[in-house]
Amino acid sequence: MTALDARPETTTTLRFPTGFRWGTATAAYQIEGAAAEDGRTPSIWDTFSRIPGKVRNGDTGDIAADHYHRMREDVALMRRLGVTDYRFSIAWPRVQPTGRGPAVQKGLDFYRRLVDELRDAGIRPVATLYHWDLPQELEDAGGWPERETARRFGEYAGIMAEALGDRVATWTTLNEPWCAAFLGYGNGVHAPGRTSPLASLRAAHHFNLAHGWAAQTLRAALPAGAEISLTLNLHAVRAHTNSPADLDAARRIDAVGNRVFLDPVFHGRLPEDLVRDTAAVTDWSFVLDGDLEAASTPIDSLGINYYSPTVVAAGSSESPSPWAGAEEHVRFLPAPGPRTAMDWPVDANGLHELLIRLRDDLPGVPLVITENGAAYDDYADPSGAVHDPERVAYLHAHLSAVHRAIGEGADVRGYFLWSLLDNFEWAYGYSKRFGIVHVDFATQRRTFKDSAHWYADVIARGGLT
């Protein structure tokens, strides 16, 4: 990546640097539907969503926002918004159904059509290889706690590089491996629903290894100048007080929530305090010679997903906990302030804190906000309009925080709003709406919310008023 042309101007309009990327983002299982079409086989989320009680209302992603059939309509919406970039994920079981062997051409063809449609619309494709939809056959063979899954992921990366390497300039290996490892294998609230601290730590390591192997494969296969990235949902951790016990609680969560990925990927090492914290769970002998070197394969940018801060104090957490090694030492407290429909606190300062930390901890690493947004209880009024002033306020505050961080030296290259469409919101099913485009799931009708019109104006101005 090249540095942006200028720092933002300090005027009544908060202008972002020339070349700043304005995007939106989605994930395959949340929007595509067509779950059993053209050779696609079940992912862990197809299986998990059919377990009674795991997903609200028994919802599944079988149809979702039907993007598989309405892709051109959705790209036209992005053109109306004026976005420069679109971040999407590729469904691994759509292109390599068992996680092994040759690709399914119909699956590859869908992504070829999507990328070509985006390019024709003047929108830069940003592809994510993994947004949580592991082929079920690989989970049946052990899933992410097993080293072989990382090896399979590296091969899958090669398939996609060969298929789309001439069309896609930015590749993200993984989206939020913390959620996939610790919510999927630690406390079981996400697919595949396992509850094992050891499995979650093994999965975290194998995600780091998979990322490194995929980055090596992509680097060897892609044209010169292609960008390789990783997206993390880093936690803006705050101690409730300055007491030694509360500060230690924050340290523990920073270790298992942030540095479990940051240290291997950017420094080629495991956090020493994490190893001590988790000694009762594992001796980390599953980390083999060469793994950390592979995990630290150089990349071109780091994606940051941020929604709200994390406030902790000394205490204990409910079991099962996703926080391996910290559950008996940390309790979580609600942050003050307004809350979204997810009951998440609204606090844009947490995003600013993260960006300044990364400015200091990872000098020279370009940053991109790859997800930021909010769910509210949106509905279409009798005229068909969808008014969402709370979301507009949320987005304005967080973009202002990004602008402030850039002015303080954080090398932030872009902002991808989550999400383009209302969609399948994982364990919440269709009960939570993050989109700036309202989707009537009964008819699949798309309607710009007020926030979409607002975001289009921000993009056109290149900043905030």
The torsion angles phi and psi of 214, rounded to 5 degrees, stand at -65, -40
**371 classed as catalytic:** yes
Spot the catalytic one: 176, 227, 390, 425: 176
Q: Measured between alpha carbons, how far is 50 from 61 in angstroms, rounded to an integer? A: 10
| Strand-pair category, 412-418 with 437-440 | unpaired
29, with CB counted inside 10 A (0-12, 13-18, 19+), is buried
- Could you give phi then psi for residue 14, rounded to 5 degrees? -85, 95
Residues whose CB falls within 8 Å of the CB of residue 192, separated by 6 or more in sequence, listed in order:
44, 47, 48, 134, 139, 143, 184, 185
Phi, psi of 120 (to 5 degrees): -65, -30
**C-alpha to C-alpha distance for 203 and 145, rounded to whole angstroms:** 4
What distance in Å separates the CA atoms of residue 374 and residue 203, rounded to the nearest whole number? 28
Backbone phi and psi for residue 125, each to the nearest 5 degrees, phi listed first: -75, 135
Identify the active-site residue in 117, 327, 371, 390. Answer: 371
Please say if 139 is a catalytic residue.
no
DSSP 288: -
Phi, psi of 371 (to 5 degrees): -150, 135
| Per-residue CA distances from 377 to 196, 339, 380, 422, 438 (Å) | 34, 12, 10, 11, 11
Task: Specify whether the CB–CB gap between 423 and 88 falls below 8 A.
Answer: no
Active centre residues (catalytic) = 176, 371
